[in-house]
Structure 1
Amino acid sequence: MFPHLYGFRVNISLFQEAASKELLEILDKCEGTKAIVWDDSLSGPVGLVTKYAFLKERNVTKMLPLRPGALPDVDVRNVIFITRPNLKLMNYIAENVHSIDKRQKSGSSKELFLYFLPRVSTLCETQLKNKGVYGSFSHVGEFNCDFFPVDNDLLSMELKDTFRELYIEDDPTAIFLSAKALISLQQLYGRIPKINGKGNDAKKLWDLLKIMGQEELTSNAMGKGAIDQLFIVDRSVDVMSALATQLTYEGLIDEYYGINQSTAHFPSDRFSSSDESGLQGSVSDKKTIILNSSEELYTELRDKNFNAIGQILSRRANEISKQLDERHNDKSVQDIKRFVERLPNMMAYKKSLTTHTTIAELLKEVTSSDEFLDELECEQEFLVCSDVDKVNPFIEDLIANQAPFKTVIRLICMQSIGGSGLKQKVLDYYKRELIQVYGIEKLLAISNLEKAGLLKVQSGSRTYAVVRKTLKLTVEDTNEVTPNDISYVHTFYAPLTIRIVERALKPNGWQSLSDVLSCLPGPAFEDYQSNGQSALSTTRRGSFSSEMSQSDTPKVILVFFLGGCTFAEISALRFLSRQEDNNVEFVIATTKLINKNTFLDSLIE
């Protein structure tokens, strides 16, 4: 169903197949025609595990979004609600069910079902009971889909507010869900013998995972699986990389057009009507394009720095032009036959080339604008800790010109992180100006950012400056076209999260990082899992070294981001996996794919 999910030693399609099978079982429990009412946050992700044609085969005739008020009257036998466990959504469901119950009194009969993804919530069930609708459901159950397969090396839980919940609302639900997801992953792929991590919530996740693993994994006498090592990355350890502008092709598309569940929307008037490459359809005046590894050209382009894209597109255009011109040289019937056999692939590639040339033109308009370049120059000053102790003139001008609040506050947060806090008088000045220009209602957003640690008063230590120099987070004269360092993803800045993983790949790498890791918030840990035992003492580690010492095959490492990761970080990991010296394959899993805009939106809105 999704051939692009194959291709690596860890077969990501197993998640798709498991989720699709479970959804099939849910539908088969309901005889007759069906309507599915989706929580908005799930309607997109579910498209990563099944297709609408598959649902139609199971008598699904309607797909409806979950909205407050009455549910539209649909001529079906069964109505199936599939939702996240959220109290606000329970109110919507209650209103929908009341409207169905009223209609049923007048003669129409429907059977109702409710499924929570990924887990049933007692609190939500209580809410439905209080609303008087819980008894209306013939069955209440779970749709156990912990990870959604985004690509052949990428999994996402699609939990968009994890960082906010952990650091502003003090809600640890995401830690529990992450632990359950990692248990499910090991049930599919086998036990992961070695675990490293950094950060307070990363440690909480591992502690919970050990307890749950002893209960759920050891009972199956599970041996070592396809994955050799797990890195748990706490987003709070490196907020700077979440705020920095991504300069990879995929990262820029996400930041300026948005990539959701491998789908992006672009202005349709920029695409010719004959260009149907990768198109799924139109949304009003938008062109919908699928972006994943099923497309050969996109796979080549996505992890490149944007400044390298023009050369690649030009080279590929010349190559396809030469291939199409070969027909003039074909003399024999066999030559013509071979050309005709290759023609469909060549034409598909040509359409793909046209599509990505148009996308590159759209991005070029953004990246060549004075607004973009001035903003990028300002953030790059903060990345190298330049002028972080005083009010920044460019930020002052932005405020005076009433630039978007999100643009301004992002740069102030980056200045705060670069200086390991702002001087009291600088922070007070910024607050005063922001409230005066944008209104007192922005106080809540500022308070949230302070609670999350993105804005704070400077203390004595200069953590970021020390870490930047020790780990060489900024690299001068980075080669953007043929890079030799992960810093190319931001032109000259290497994401801290990935630099830590890179250093840890070296012999005794994790131990050599102890000094610099101690500068960062939260504990660093290294632990091991055996069959039936977790958290082993150092005297048992030799057995794990031998278990993982097969150097002839690449080591497979799962990097799990708690709180979200960016496409630039994913590109950096893919870059590391392509370096022969590392002899490693990465599988990336995250609570959510984020960019500077979506990350801030979750904190300030």
Structure 2
Amino acid sequence: MTSAAGKALPSLDKGPLSLRELRDGDRLALLDLLDTIRGRKALVLEADFAAPLSLLVEASTLREHGVELFGVLGDGSALASQLEDREIRQVVYLLHTRLESVHAAVAHVAQCRRLCSSPLEFAWLVIPRVVSLAPRMLERAGLLADVTLLPTPLSWIPLDEDLISLELPDVFREWTADGDPSSLHELASALSSLQQRFGAVARIKAKGTAAVEVAGLLGRMRREQGSEGPAVGQSGIDGMILMDRSVDIVSPACTQLTYEGLLEETMGIRCGQVVLESEGGRKVHGLNSSDAVFVETRDKFYMDARRWINETLRTIQQFRDQGIHSADISALRGFVSELRDKFVRIPLHTSLIEQLAASLASPGFAARQKVEAGLLDGGDELPAILDLMYTGEGAAAVLRLLCLYCAVHGGIPRKAYDGLRRDFLNTYGHEHLLTLAALQRAGLVDRRESRRSAFPLVREAFGLLAQEEGAGADATPDIHFTYAGYAPLSVRVVQAALSGSGWGGVEAALGALPGPTAELAQGVGPEGQPTTRTDRGPLLGGGGAAPAGVDLGTGARRPLVLVVYVGGVTAAEVAALRWLAAQRRVPCDFLVATTGVVSGRSLVQEFMPPGG
């Protein structure tokens, strides 16, 4: 496990809703569970859960509670050898109730039992609760009597002051291609626990099949809680918008052009952490709101972020070189208080900007950008995509552009589909036969049917593209900067949901997008029982939409809307939501919740074989 030491964590008490107790509560629950397992122990994690866990509890704290060895699911031979050498008999697994994780844990337990001469005791800490899958697979392997199963009520990982995530991998593929709804149940359960902590949300709007499904599950869970369920009207959250990732494939398929988004595109950011190579080996750097430079630049268009970093660096250098000997005490104090934290972080971000510049200068990046721009304008860029494939572009990049092509044009022309599929397999390997089949089941890469694409209607109704005539100095700023001219569709849907009763007059375009809509109100029946009913009233307030930037209610605070992305959210979409709230373009602040932070690359890789 990677320790969080040296990587400052966000305070979690400076956002629209204090999340510190959420993190502290989960940390204490986990440590208390570990303490019930006496003695020295090894902790085995899912490979992709080490980074999220480091945001909850540091490795040093786990060691204080008896954890002496760390391992990951997979080949258990190395851990078995260490267990023997250090005479550790307790092996604890922290895992989610997912088929792949449970299957890997069963194999890992069997291997450790076989390779260790001394008897071992196994415990599974199952997130968030023990379901029938785990004991059934253990019984089938003859291991049920050897493993203690303990429910572990971990759910949200606070990534920053206004962003929480379940950090569940492959949710989008499981739901769209595999038809597995387990992740939707897990999300609904996590939202239910959030309501238990902060109170029930009065009104909910949902768009997309998965989003409507989660909204229904959430209402059912609250009704099953009866009088013990959370009360309405006592919530720190005033409204909830659920967004199915399938509704908007265009946004993740395009290249993000905010500073944080571009870092994710080129280097990969995992749980607010980026790994860089240095002379001493790999080093993990935290990127979140505790970083005085990153908090100022992360949501800017990357060129604006670069300009800000360069100007700040010049300011610091000028003060140090020219003003430090002549400055009075008050000026020195101002320098220390305002620039000290930025000065410490500037070298890291200068290095990151230089690495980004090298990536942006590559011919492949410019070619992909040209194809994306042409597709958003409605052009047929299939020949250009094929050229990229024939000239050595990676499989993930080509699939990403094909997803964008299908989202814009409603699919690949039938006459071209079979030839493209054949050439793709010949170029990248026939192991991608399953990749293409999964993408087809998910509706991401498929033949074009006779119906026309709805994207031109959607593009115009939601104002997705910055108009050329409005691109001058007098243009009204908008969220198009996140993709250099394209406003993320999912954020436009959020704006429509906030516009008053219904969906702000874009119902026709909204109906052309995949999946149904739902508008629900949570309340209490005459006998005190929780109720959920259809309600087409405004998400916030009772009498219609509030003017942008005007507080509702008492005016003591701006309303808070929880925006839930089912299947993943991109950094650029989060940046757009932050910008709308900061500029008072919407009558609320946002807390973003998601199953995971994704990019077009990571979304496509969910459908590809490991290492593909």
Unpaired segments ≥5 residues, structure 1: 270-281
Structure 2 equivalent of residue 6 of structure 1: 13
- 2:462 counterpart letter in structure 1: L
Q: Give, in whole Å, the separation in 1 of the partners of 2:334 and 2:519.
A: 54
Structure 2 equivalent of residue 82 of structure 1: 94
Secondary structure class of the residue paired with 2:153: coil
Q: Does 1:404 pair with 2:391?
A: no
* Residues 319-355 of structure 1: per-residue CA shift (max 9 Å, x gap): 3234434430146xxx29x847964874542231111
Cα shift at 1:220:
3.9
Structure 1 equivalent of residue 430 of structure 2: 440
Structure 1 equivalent of residue 173 of structure 2: 164
Structure 2 equivalent of residue 278 of structure 1: none
Give the 3 Å change call, closer, same or farther, for CA 102–385 of structure 1 in structure 2: closer
Q: Which of 240, 254, 276 is residue 230 of structure 1 equivalent to? A: 240
Q: Which of 573, 598, 601 is residue 597 of structure 1 equivalent to? A: 601
Instruction: Judge conservation of contact 1:421–1:459 (CA < 8 Å) in 2.
Output: no
Q: Which of 395, 400, 404 is residue 414 of structure 1 equivalent to? A: 404
Structure 2 equivalent of residue 206 of structure 1: 215
Instruction: Judge conservation of contact 2:249–2:403 (CA < 8 Å) in 1.
Output: no
Give the 3 Å change call, closer, same or farther, for CA 562–98 of structure 1 in structure 2: closer
Q: Does 1:360 pair with 2:360?
A: no
Instruction: Judge conservation of contact 1:307–1:480 (CA < 8 Å) in 2.
Output: no
Give the 3 Å change call, closer, same or farther, for CA 351–218 of structure 1 in structure 2: same
TM alignment of 1:92-131, pairs within 5 A:
92-98=104-110, 101=113, 108=118, 110-131=120-141
Cα shift at 1:191:
0.9
Structure 1 equivalent of residue 5 of structure 2: none
Q: Give, in whole Å, the separation in 2 of the partners of 1:210 and 1:166.
A: 20
Q: Give, in whole Å, the separation in 1 of the partners of 2:186 and 2:13.
A: 26
Structure 2 equivalent of residue 426 of structure 1: 416
Cα shift at 1:50:
1.0
Structure 2 equivalent of residue 67 of structure 1: 74
Q: Give, in whole Å, the separation in 2 of the partners of 1:287 and 1:535.
A: 49
Secondary structure class of the residue paired with 2:179: coil
Structure 2 equivalent of residue 578 of structure 1: 582
Q: Give, in whole Å, the separation in 2 of the partners of 1:305 and 1:221.
A: 41
Q: Give, in whole Å, the separation in 1 of the partners of 2:237 and 2:573.
A: 20
Instruction: Judge conservation of contact 1:69–1:92 (CA < 8 Å) in 2.
Output: no
Give the 3 Å change call, closer, same or farther, for CA 471–59 of structure 1 in structure 2: same
- 1:293 counterpart letter in structure 2: S
Q: Give, in whole Å, the separation in 1 of the partners of 2:135 and 2:507.
A: 46
Q: How many residues are paired up? A: 581
Structure 2 equivalent of residue 555 of structure 1: 559
Cα shift at 1:544:
6.3
Structure 2 equivalent of residue 277 of structure 1: none
Instruction: Judge conservation of contact 1:487–1:494 (CA < 8 Å) in 2.
Output: yes
Q: Give, in whole Å, the separation in 1 of the partners of 2:536 and 2:496.
A: 24
Q: Give, in whole Å, the separation in 2 of the partners of 1:563 and 1:539.
A: 25
Structure 1 equivalent of residue 520 of structure 2: 527
* Residues 483-535 of structure 1: per-residue CA shift (max 9 Å, x gap): 71111100011111001112332233625222211111211111111144333
Q: Give, in whole Å, the separation in 1 of the partners of 2:577 and 2:472.
A: 17
| Comparing 34-43 and 157-166, the one that deviates more | 34-43
Give the 3 Å change call, closer, same or farther, for CA 90–244 of structure 1 in structure 2: same
Q: Give, in whole Å, the separation in 1 of the partners of 2:430 and 2:74.
A: 31
RMSD: 2.8
Q: Which of 376, 380, 383 is residue 387 of structure 1 equivalent to? A: 380
Secondary structure class of the residue paired with 1:536: strand
Give the 3 Å change call, closer, same or farther, for CA 462–317 of structure 1 in structure 2: same
Give the 3 Å change call, closer, same or farther, for CA 357–476 of structure 1 in structure 2: farther
Q: Give, in whole Å, the separation in 1 of the partners of 2:125 and 2:597.
A: 25
Secondary structure class of the residue paired with 1:545: coil
Give the 3 Å change call, closer, same or farther, for CA 492–458 of structure 1 in structure 2: farther
Give the 3 Å change call, closer, same or farther, for CA 482–158 of structure 1 in structure 2: farther
Give the 3 Å change call, closer, same or farther, for CA 465–218 of structure 1 in structure 2: farther
Q: Which of 324, 329, 333 is residue 326 of structure 2 equivalent to? A: 329
* Residues 340-372 of structure 1: per-residue CA shift (max 9 Å, x gap): 796487454223111101101100111122221
Give the 3 Å change call, closer, same or farther, for CA 321–223 of structure 1 in structure 2: same
Q: Give, in whole Å, the separation in 2 of the partners of 1:480 and 1:31.
A: 66
Cα shift at 1:604:
2.7
Give the 3 Å change call, closer, same or farther, for CA 315–479 of structure 1 in structure 2: farther
Identity of aligned residues (%): 27
Q: Give, in whole Å, the separation in 2 of the partners of 1:318 and 1:84.
A: 48
Q: Give, in whole Å, the separation in 2 of the partners of 1:28 and 1:577.
A: 43
Q: Give, in whole Å, the separation in 2 of the partners of 1:543 and 1:566.
A: 25
Instruction: Judge conservation of contact 2:13–2:20 (CA < 8 Å) in 1.
Output: yes
Secondary structure class of the residue paired with 1:583: coil
Q: Does 1:192 pair with 2:201?
A: yes
Instruction: Judge conservation of contact 2:498–2:540 (CA < 8 Å) in 1.
Output: no
Instruction: Judge conservation of contact 1:199–1:522 (CA < 8 Å) in 2.
Output: yes
TM alignment of 1:235-314, pairs within 5 A:
235-268=245-278, 284=281, 286-314=282-310
Cα shift at 1:468:
0.5
Q: Which of 439, 450, 466 is residue 449 of structure 1 equivalent to? A: 439
* Residues 130-171 of structure 1: per-residue CA shift (max 9 Å, x gap): 22222123x311111111111110011111111111111110
Cα shift at 1:262:
1.1
Q: Give, in whole Å, the separation in 2 of the partners of 1:355 and 1:483.
A: 33
- 1:508 counterpart letter in structure 2: S
Unpaired segments ≥5 residues, structure 2: 1-7, 545-550
Q: Does 1:49 pair with 2:56?
A: yes
- 1:585 counterpart letter in structure 2: D
Cα shift at 1:463:
0.5
- 1:576 counterpart letter in structure 2: L
Structure 1 equivalent of residue 3 of structure 2: none
Scaled by the length of structure 2, the TM-score of the pair is 0.88
Instruction: Judge conservation of contact 1:193–1:544 (CA < 8 Å) in 2.
Output: no
Instruction: Judge conservation of contact 1:420–1:459 (CA < 8 Å) in 2.
Output: no
Q: Does 1:493 pair with 2:486?
A: yes
Instruction: Judge conservation of contact 2:92–2:124 (CA < 8 Å) in 1.
Output: yes
Q: Give, in whole Å, the separation in 2 of the partners of 1:366 and 1:212.
A: 47
- 1:427 counterpart letter in structure 2: Y
Secondary structure class of the residue paired with 1:44: helix
- 1:47 counterpart letter in structure 2: S
Q: Which of 182, 194, 202 is residue 191 of structure 2 equivalent to? A: 182
Structure 1 equivalent of residue 25 of structure 2: 18
Instruction: Judge conservation of contact 1:479–1:488 (CA < 8 Å) in 2.
Output: no
Structure 2 equivalent of residue 320 of structure 1: 316
Cα shift at 1:68:
3.0
Instruction: Judge conservation of contact 1:419–1:464 (CA < 8 Å) in 2.
Output: yes
Q: Does 1:142 pair with 2:142?
A: no
Instruction: Judge conservation of contact 2:43–2:94 (CA < 8 Å) in 1.
Output: yes
- 1:148 counterpart letter in structure 2: I
Q: Give, in whole Å, the separation in 2 of the partners of 1:480 and 1:160.
A: 42
Cα shift at 1:125:
1.2
| Comparing 423-432 and 178-187, the one that deviates more | 423-432
* Residues 393-443 of structure 1: per-residue CA shift (max 9 Å, x gap): 322322322322222222222122111222211223322322333343333
Give the 3 Å change call, closer, same or farther, for CA 18–504 of structure 1 in structure 2: same
Q: Give, in whole Å, the separation in 2 of the partners of 1:46 and 1:603.
A: 25
| Comparing 379-388 and 62-71, the one that deviates more | 62-71
Give the 3 Å change call, closer, same or farther, for CA 538–61 of structure 1 in structure 2: closer
Q: Give, in whole Å, the separation in 1 of the partners of 2:575 and 2:442.
A: 26
Instruction: Judge conservation of contact 2:464–2:480 (CA < 8 Å) in 1.
Output: yes
* Residues 521-566 of structure 1: per-residue CA shift (max 9 Å, x gap): 2111111111443333559989962799416231101000111111
Q: Give, in whole Å, the separation in 2 of the partners of 1:393 and 1:596.
A: 21
Instruction: Judge conservation of contact 1:202–1:233 (CA < 8 Å) in 2.
Output: yes
Cα shift at 1:246:
0.4
Scaled by the length of structure 1, the TM-score of the pair is 0.89
Q: Give, in whole Å, the separation in 1 of the partners of 2:570 and 2:190.
A: 20
